[in-house]
DNA sequence: TAGATTGTTAATCGATTAACAATC
DNA sequence: TAGATTGTTAATCGATTAACAATC
């Protein structure tokens, strides 16, 4: 039953298409062309048609792709139809912004717990969550079957927060801080790098 | 004097190396090997040595690359040695988090202005900035020579905020919201997509 | 000297692009 | 029918990887 794992590039692009399709659906559009998908994803339209046609004939010539149908098929391909629980570290401005946005919820990620070191914040509500102390990380991660941790802490606290999550069983760390974070093999660290991406955009503006 | 523009991939990777090197420097390390750079960037070490050696012999065999020296050389290659001004739209939790972090400042980006629609917030200080009304966007963008705009607004407000910036002369838009944003040719939109990247990480965890 | 790591080659693989017949 | 857009081919280009001599 286990199919071959997708090449990195294909999986990355399909994830990106899925995110765009989810937003397109919200806007009420029923179909989308490879051309439009290309404008939002910066992937060549031929490449998009190629990526999709490798799994079946999902589109209608002259019309485009049905948004709902395509979302379903890509979720199948990526095995990400389910609901997944996530722990958020840090209830400062960034943590609260993440906790109160739909950015993860739209894709089936449920923020199941929110942690902070600040005793003033602990016990207080943020959205439908209550801020918990770090001493409860291990137990909560186990209880709620959390496999993803999101770091919304100051750079100096990032490594310690990551270690705590990893030791509790988290296998994917999402790092919003600018700090570099180390992890043992088997744990994926994904660091947001807005400044890096901005440098890249700026290069093409300046040349 | 105008050299050939770098291939997209090379510019993207060099930007990423620069971001990692900047953080490495902060940690006090003086040199870094292609192996270590690979662990933080997820780029193959041979590819890194190849990227760098295309511009000169920057490393020392048996030692690695001098961090300071390499930062200088990559900045030269990317023409991003200067200081650049940036406008931040939105002074909610996300906007304040961005305004008070060093994530952009570390790379020579100065947040030169902060805008919001909320009359309660206008006029109040956030860090060393004062929240300005949207009516001042055009004038401020011109006065401070702002070429980059950062959207930290609710999804429903993203397109309007982008339009305002673009009409004022901004050429690079950084979209932190999950909304899709359209722009005319000549304007680069860069959308953060944490959920998309998380789907990607999850795929490799699940398979 | 011994160990480590760069710089570079060569071979393979995946991405990009143009083009266009098929067909909705 | 006419216009639009997919599915697919073929050719080119860039990325990836292993391997290793050079050299710090």
Q: Kindly state the average pLDDT of the residues A180-190.
A: 91
Which bases of strand C sit closer than 7 A to a protein CB?
2-9, 14-19, 22-24
Which chain A positions have a beta carbon within 8 Å of B20's beta carbon? 180
> Would you give per-residue pLDDT tens digits along chain B (207 residues)?
345 678 888 999 999 999 999 999 999 999 999 999 999 998 999 999 999 999 999 999 999 999 999 999 999 999 888 889 999 999 999 999 999 999 999 999 999 999 999 999 999 999 999 999 999 999 999 999 999 999 999 999 999 999 999 999 999 999 999 999 999 988 999 998 898 889 989 988 887
The DSSP secondary structure of A123-144, one letter per residue, reads T-EETTEEEE-GGGHHHHHHHT
Nucleotide nearest A56 (Cα, C1'): D7
Helix (H, G, I), strand (E, B) or coil at B3: coil
Q: Are the beta carbons of A186 and A171 closer than 8 angstroms?
A: yes
Strand order in the sheet with A188-191: A125-126, A129-132, A109-115, A84-89, A146-151, A172-175, A188-191
Which chain B positions have a beta carbon within 8 Å of A184's beta carbon? none
Q: Which residues pair with A64 in a beta bridge?
A: A60
Looking at the domain that runs over A84-195, which CATH code has it been given?
A: 3.40.50.720
pLDDT in tens, A76-99: 999 888 889 999 999 999 999 999
Total-model pTM: 0.94
Strand D at less than 7 A from CB of B29: no
CB contact under 8 A, B203 and A6: yes
In chain A, list all ranges with CATH 3.40.50.720.
84-195
In chain B, list all ranges with CATH 1.10.10.10.
8-77
Which phi and psi angles does B115 have, rounded to 5°?
-120, 150
Nearest to B97 among A16, A27, A93 (CB): A93
Amino acid A62 CA to nucleotide D7 C1' distance, rounded Å: 12
Chain A interface test: which of B85, B202, B207 (most A C-beta within 10 Å): B202
Name the closest residue on chain A to residue B206, using Cα atoms: A79
CB contact under 8 A, B15 and A80: no
Check: CATH 1.10.3720.10 for A8-77?
no
């Amino acid at each position: 039953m286990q199919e071959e794992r997708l090449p990195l590039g294909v999986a990355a692009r399909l994830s990106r298409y899925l995110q765009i399709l989810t937003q397109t659906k919200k806007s009420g559009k029923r179909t989308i062309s490879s051309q439009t998908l290309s404008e939002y994803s910066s992937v060549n339209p031929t490449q998009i048609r190629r990526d999709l046609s490798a799994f079946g004939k999902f589109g209608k010539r002259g019309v485009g792709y049905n948004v709902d149908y395509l979302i379903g098929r890509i979720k199948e391909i990526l095995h990400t139809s389910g609901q997944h629980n996530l722990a958020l570290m840090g209830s400062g401005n960034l943590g609260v912004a993440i906790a109160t946005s739909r950015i993860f919820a739209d894709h089936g990620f449920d923020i199941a717990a929110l942690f902070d070191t600040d005793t003033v914040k602990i016990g207080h509500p943020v959205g439908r969550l209550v801020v918990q102390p770090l001493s409860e990380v291990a137990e909560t991660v186990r209880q709620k079957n959390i496999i993803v941790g999101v770091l919304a802490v100051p750079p100096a606290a990032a490594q310690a927060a990551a270690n705590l999550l990893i030791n509790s069983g988290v296998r994917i760390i999402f790092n919003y801080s600018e700090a570099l974070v180390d992890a043992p093999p088997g744990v994926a660290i994904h660091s947001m790098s807005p400044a890096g991406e901005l440098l890249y955009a700026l290069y093409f503006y300046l040349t």
